Amino acid sequence: MYYKKLILSTLLILFTGVMAGAVVISQAQAQDHSAKVEGKVMDSDDQSLSGIEVTLRTASDGLEDALSSDDYTAITDNDGEFSIEGIEPGTYTLEVSQDGYSDSEQTINLSEEETEEVEIQLHPVN
């Protein structure tokens, strides 16, 4: 009986150690080297535009890339500011569109741990 308890205790300690190691590994993986895009959307009078959808699309080289792309989206806050985090390094197209304004599109190249800051100005459509 004593050996059975000893074996169970040893197995429990080993299992706890393995689980603790898994937690440490998952925390290390969570500290990835992703990039970030943040910025502000304004009108032609430099007034902040809130509630504007900002989309970051993977720049695709063909149909296969376009079908497998991951888009990132944010909505501007009351100050016209937005932030998109956890972006894999690469080349992206930043798209902003709003009824009554001309569309805005620009290419952004992101590297690991980079924060790209952008200012986007939308012009009214006459």
pLDDT score of 32: 65
pLDDT at res. 41: 97
Can you say how many angstroms the Cα of residue 75 is from the centroid of all Cα atoms in its chain? 13
Extents of the domains making up the chain: 1-31, 35-122
72-75/53-58 β-pairing: antiparallel
The second-level CATH assignment, the architecture, of 35-122 is Sandwich (2.60)
The predicted structure's pLDDT at residue 126? 77
State pLDDT tens for residues 16-45. 665 555 544 444 444 567 999 999 999 999
Residues of the chain with pLDDT under 70: 1-12, 14-32, 60-69
What's the CA gap between 123 and 91, in Å, rounded?
25
pLDDT of residue 12: 59
User: What per-residue confidence (pLDDT) applies to 69?
Assistant: 59
pTM comes to 0.68
